[in-house]
Structure 1
Amino acid sequence: MELNLETARQVIKATEERAEQVGQPMVIAVANDEGNLIAQHRMDDAWLASVSISRNKSYTAAALDMPTHELANASEPGNSLYGLQTTDDNKIVIFGGGYPLEKGGEVVGAIGVSGGEVSQDRTVAEAGVEAWEELLSEGVTADD
């Protein structure tokens, strides 16, 4: 079970609309359950660095089956995951903006958003999660 390109585009569109409401250009990445990129969109004037950061946030959320902001405390010095962000070819992100996308309790993909303050990235990414959940309820999503 994996996300398809059309569904990823719909999630990105809804996410971009929230970024416009926040007033911050963002880069939005949607990955499959293995963290491989399905689609990515860079809004006009979004930071170039956000291209790789958003992709890595989606990778992290998919690879670890959790939102990236949940890794912050555990990866501080002295805690059990200290240094986590230096592993996996430095693709692990330990700050907010990456969320898994679930279907039937299973992670089938992830979204990563970068371009603003962490709180903005989270707010915008959460719009993508909401769009995914709406698409699920309409039955217009992943291949089975």
Structure 2
Amino acid sequence: MQTKAILGLTEVNAILDAAQREAEANQWNVTISITDDSGELLGLRRLDGASPMTAMISAQKARTAALSHKETQVFERMINEGRHAFLSAPLQGLMEGGVPVVVDGRVIGAVGVSGVKADQDAQVARASIAAVL
């Protein structure tokens, strides 16, 4: 029987806290979402001043990163480079800012961030994962 690492409540809270620190250090009003490896939401934190829409977008980015095992910037670039047919894929959140959480080479979840420029969203997501792993 195989075993796998998972994101428990302790890890989810640590990632949310690290993401909030990174966002606040840059004065960015964002929403941070965390999913498990199947894309189901484990945690969400909407910082003061973040648009309500960012809650949905961050969750979609995290879900897409978890299911695809790729950063969502891959899909944004693909579409921007002319592969518009990919817009019909059954995924949402195809914008930069979703980052998988990888432990021992396996995706165990993902972080999605929304609220600022795409590269800034990704910066918050990456910083939050790096602070925990």
TM-score by length of 2: 0.89
CA offset at residue 87 of structure 1? Answer: 3.4
| Alpha-carbon distance between aligned partners in 2 of 1:13 and 1:20, rounded to the nearest angstrom | 10
The equivalent position to 1:30 in structure 2, one of 28, 34, 40, is: 34
Secondary structure in structure 2 of the residue aligned to 1:23? coil
- Look up the match of 1:43: 47
User: What is the match of residue 7 of structure 1?
Assistant: 11
In structure 2, do the counterparts of structure 1 residues 78 and 15 end up closer, same or farther at CA, with 3 Å as the change threshold?
A: closer
Percent of residue pairs bearing the same amino acid type: 29
| Cα pair distance change 1:76/1:25, threshold 3 Å | closer
Residues 1:56 and 2:60 aligned together: yes
Gap change, CA 1:123 and 1:77, over 3 Å in 2: closer
Give aligned pairs, total: 129
Whether the 8 Å CA contact 1:69–1:97 is kept in 2: the answer is yes
* Structure 2 unmatched runs, 5+: none
Aligned to 1:124, the other structure's residue is in SS state: helix
Q: Which amino acid aligns with 1:3?
A: L
Deviation string, structure 1 residues 50-100 (Cα, Å, up to 9, x no partner) = 000000000010010000001123224753xx3434432xx4222211000
| 8 Å CA contact retained: 1:30, 1:111 | yes
Q: Indicate if the aligned counterparts of 1:15 and 1:128 stay in contact, CA closer than 8 A.
A: yes
Q: What code does the residue aligned with 1:110 have?
A: A
Structure 1 equivalent of residue 86 of structure 2: 84
Give, in angstroms, the shift of residue 112 of structure 1. 0.3
Superposed displacement of residue 131, structure 1: 1.8
CA RMSD of aligned residues (A): 1.5
Q: Which amino acid aligns with 1:99?
A: V
Report SS of the residue matched to 1:40.
strand
Equivalent position of 1:140 in the other structure: none
